[in-house]
Amino acid sequence: MNDKSVAWDPELSVKFFKLRFKYEWLFKKKKQPWSEFRKILLDHSFPEEITIPYIRKKWNYTYDMYRIAKRDQNTHWKYFKIFEKHYGKKKVLDAKYQSWNDEWRLKLIICMTETKKMKFDNYSMWRTIEHSMRSQDMPNHCCVQDMKGLWYHLKMTFNRKHRLKLKKHNEDSDWPLYEPMLEYFKLLEPEYLVRLETLPARDMFNTLKCRKSSGCGNAVGKDESTFQWSKDITESLIQIRLQNDWIFREYKWAWSKMRTILVEENDFPNSLTSRDLCRKWSSLFSEYQKAKATENKTWLYYSLFELYLGEGNLSLNPLCGWQEEWVKSFIRIRSELDHLFTTEKRSNNDGWRKVEQKLRATGLPLDHSVLDLPDMWDHLFKTFKWKRKFLNQGILNEQWPYLDLMAQYSETHYRLNQAHKNEDSRDYEDCEDDMKLIDIKKLVKPKFEVLEANNCRSCANDEACISLFDHRDGDGVDLASKLRLIGGVEIEQSDSLPYNICLHCLQELETAYKFRRKCQEVDKEFRDKKNANTVKIEINIPQDDIFNSLDADMDFEMTTEEPQPKKKRNDY
Convert 80-116 to b/e letters by CB count within 10 Å (16 or more is b): bebbbebeeeeeeeeeebeebeeebbebbbebbbebe
Give pLDDT, residue 472: 76
Determine the length of the chain. 572
- Angle CA 238–313–309, to nearest 5: 35
Angstrom distance (rounded) from CA 455 to CA 465: 9
Q: Three-state DSSP class for 501?
A: strand
519 is in an annotated binding site: no
111 labeled part of a ligand binding site = no
Burial profile 26-56: b = 16 or more Cβ within 10 angstroms, e = fewer:
beeeeeebbbbbbebbeeeebeeebebebbb
Residues β-bridged to residue 467? 500
pLDDT at site 249: 75
Sign of the four-CA dihedral 269, 270, 274, 276: negative
Q: Beta strands of 408-535 (E only): which ranges? A: 466-467, 500-501
Using only C-alpha atoms, the chain has a radius of gyration, in whole angstroms, of 37
What is the pTM for the complete model shown? 0.55
Q: Give every CB contact of residue 92 below 8 A, 6+ residues apart in sequence.
A: 85
Query: Three-state DSSP class for 478?
Result: strand
Q: What are phi and psi of 34, to 5 degrees?
A: -70, -30
**Quick one: pLDDT at residue 84?**
82
pLDDT of residue 422: 59
Q: State whether the Cα torsion 258-259-260-266 is positive or negative.
A: positive
The domains of the chain are located at: 10-91, 123-210, 230-308, 324-425, 438-522
Count CB atoms within 10 A of the CB of residue 520: 10
Q: 316: closest CA among 254, 375, 258?
A: 375
Give me the CATH topology for the region 438-522: His-Me finger endonuclease fold (3.40.1800)
pLDDT score, position 450: 36
Mean pLDDT by 10 residues, the chain (572 residues): 63 88 79 84 87 87 85 84 72 66 92 90 87 90 89 89 80 83 90 79 51 43 60 90 83 85 87 89 91 89 88 79 91 88 57 89 89 89 90 86 90 71 49 39 38 70 73 77 82 73 82 86 81 57 52 47 48 40
Cα separation, 83 vs 25, whole angstroms: 16
